[in-house]
């Protein structure tokens, strides 16, 4: 038995039954991480000592007959913009290079409650701003399937460690596609839940009305398992929803018979790689053969989504990142002869180029004379985009479309062309603006790399997406 080939659910089952110790499971992934991480840079911090202590405690609880959680002994990786008590949380930035939180994010608390072992913190684009993980202060992550190509971003490190089997599952965050896009690039499963389905408490904020935490796994069942654990209301997050959390795992096998699946015509227009399109249409045919009805729908305002997103996201980023001033915590410039000099030099030295670009854009769209022309207008169009989805979901139960328009490009290929890089998120951004859930899973190949098939649903319809995802997954095995 190769332990690192096991899924999170398989590991949990074998540990609970005594077929495998948590210590052996954790050690196997730590050993693999030690071997693979220097090449792919998926982890920024590997918790060798604490993970083995946690694993030993789980084994002790099992041997003494104590009740254990559904993830007991399973190693889980955490994106490094999610707070972990006593474990460095850097946001892949010089600004927080030495920051160690004194509290766990709600999602980490929930994982620990169910016995999960935090194995390490994963690389990302600095403050989650990027689509390639090339914007990390600690260097880019590399796609395990082809090290010359990007792993996607901003949760690139989380997708890398899952694809490289240095962790069986990971958490990421998704502001404009940052879970789904890297999962698609690395050939794994990524789920962005409905806005409010999962608490954001302890997630370092990028754009507060768009950010959402979700799982990255090697299969749909593990995605359902992790969502089951981390979903739910949280009094510490005023935007979390009291909506009841379904039993995702028990409803996984219900299939798609009788469901209407929409093909949004705007997502299959010019610019979509032919092999990607063929793979998505093949996945749609799988659903049709399983009893779903395929219909064409329209999301006419799709072309405005990227522009709207980069106005709203940068405006919120400007506000959220104002706290990093060299006074309260984080990096502080040594050139501090005056308060204004301290602020300017700390932010100039502490932030990378992409973060500074977005702060400047955000200040511009919020500035006097431009607020109404840009930010206010973007919020109005956002409402219209949400109405587009509402109309589409009056005709169907879910949508199927590509996750990204092309196979992952080469590392360094678009570093000097930020607009081109921003456009790579064209199929994922709208879901964040509308607050709806999105699931990506691999199906077929383009240019020798996996194709991500994306399923989108109305708010709190993760159950339907997971059911459909399982049908597609079974057909691809």
Q: Which two tokens stand for residue 388?
A: 């587009």
Half-sphere exposure of residue 289, counting CA atoms within 13 Å on the CB side? 10
Query: CA 457, 462, 465, 469 torsion: positive or negative?
Result: positive
Distance of CA 332 to the CA centre of its chain: 30
Catalytic residue among 136, 154, 155, 424: 154
User: What DSSP element (H or E) covers 367?
Assistant: none
Supply the DSSP string of 117-139, one letter for each residue: EEEEEE--SGGG--SSSTT-TT-
Distance of alpha carbon 168 from alpha carbon 181, whole angstroms: 19
Q: Under a CB-based contact definition with an 8 Å cutoff, are residues 91 and 49 in contact? A: no
Q: Which two tokens stand for residue 262?
A: 């929409």
Active-site residue flag, 430: no
Catalytic residue among 93, 155, 173, 178: 178
Q: Under a CB-based contact definition with an 8 Å cutoff, are residues 192 and 32 in contact? A: no
Q: Which two tokens stand for residue 447?
A: 């240019």
| Residue 426 neighbours by CB under 8 Å, 6+ apart | 271, 302, 305, 306, 405
Active-site residue flag, 79: yes
Distance of alpha carbon 129 from alpha carbon 120, whole angstroms: 21
Active-site residue flag, 274: no
Catalytic residue among 14, 79, 142, 414: 79
Q: Active-site residues: which are they?
A: 79, 154, 178
């Amino acid at each position: 038995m190769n332990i690192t080939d096991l899924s999170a659910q398989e590991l949990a089952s074998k540990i609970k039954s005594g077929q495998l110790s948590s210590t052996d499971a954790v050690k196997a992934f730590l050993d693999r991480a030690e071997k693979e991480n220097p090449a792919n840079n998926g982890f920024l911090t590997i918790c060798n000592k604490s993970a083995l202590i946690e694993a030993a405690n789980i084994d002790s609880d099992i041997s003494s007959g104590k009740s254990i959680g559904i993830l007991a002994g399973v190693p889980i990786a955490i994106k490094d913009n999610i707070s972990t008590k006593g474990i460095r949380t850097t946001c892949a930035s010089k600004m927080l290079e030495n920051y160690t939180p004194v509290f766990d994010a709600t999602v980490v608390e929930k994982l620990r409650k169910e016995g999960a072992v935090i194995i390490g913190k994963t690389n990302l684009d600095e403050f989650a701003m990027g689509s390639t993980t090339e914007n990390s202060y600690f260097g880019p992550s590399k796609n395990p399937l082809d090290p010359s190509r990007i792993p996607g971003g901003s949760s690139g490190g989380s997708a890398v460690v899952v694809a490289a089997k240095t962790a069986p599952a990971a958490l990421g965050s998704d502001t404009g596609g940052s879970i789904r896009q890297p999962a698609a690039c690395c050939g794994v499963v990524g789920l962005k839940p409905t806005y409010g389905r999962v608490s954001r408490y302890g997630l370092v904020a990028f754009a507060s009305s768009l950010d959402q935490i979700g799982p990255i796994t090697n299969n749909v069942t593990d995605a359902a398992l992790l969502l089951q654990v981390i979903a739910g209301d949280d009094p510490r997050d005023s935007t979390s929803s009291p909506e009841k959390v379904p039993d995702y795992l028990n409803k996984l096998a219900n299939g798609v018979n009788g469901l209407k699946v929409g093909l949004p015509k705007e997502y299959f227009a010019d610019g979509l790689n032919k092999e990607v399109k063929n793979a998505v249409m093949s996945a749609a045919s799988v659903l049709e053969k399983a009893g779903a009805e395929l219909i064409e729908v329209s999301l006419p305002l799709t072309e405005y989504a990227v522009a709207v997103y980069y106005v709203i996201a940068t405006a919120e980023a400007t506000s959220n990142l104002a706290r990093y001033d060299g006074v309260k915590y984080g990096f502080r410039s040594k050139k501090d002869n005056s308060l204004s000099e301290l602020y300017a030099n700390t932010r100039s030295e502490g932030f990378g180029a992409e973060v500074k670009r977005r702060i400047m854009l955000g200040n511009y769209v919020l500035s006097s004379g431009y607020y109404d022309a840009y930010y206010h207008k973007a919020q109005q169009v956002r409402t219209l985009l949400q109405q587009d989805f509402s109309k589409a979901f009056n005709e169907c139960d879910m949508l199927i479309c590509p996750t990204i328009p092309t196979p992952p490009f080469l590392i360094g290929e678009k570093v000097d062309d930020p607009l081109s890089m921003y456009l790579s998120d064209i199929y994922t951004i709208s879901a964040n603006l509308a607050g709806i859930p999105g699931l990506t899973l691999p199906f077929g190949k383009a240019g020798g790399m996996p194709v991500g098939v994306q399923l989108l649903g109305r708010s709190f319809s993760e159950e339907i997406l997971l059911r459909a995802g399982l049908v597609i997954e079974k057909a691809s095995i």
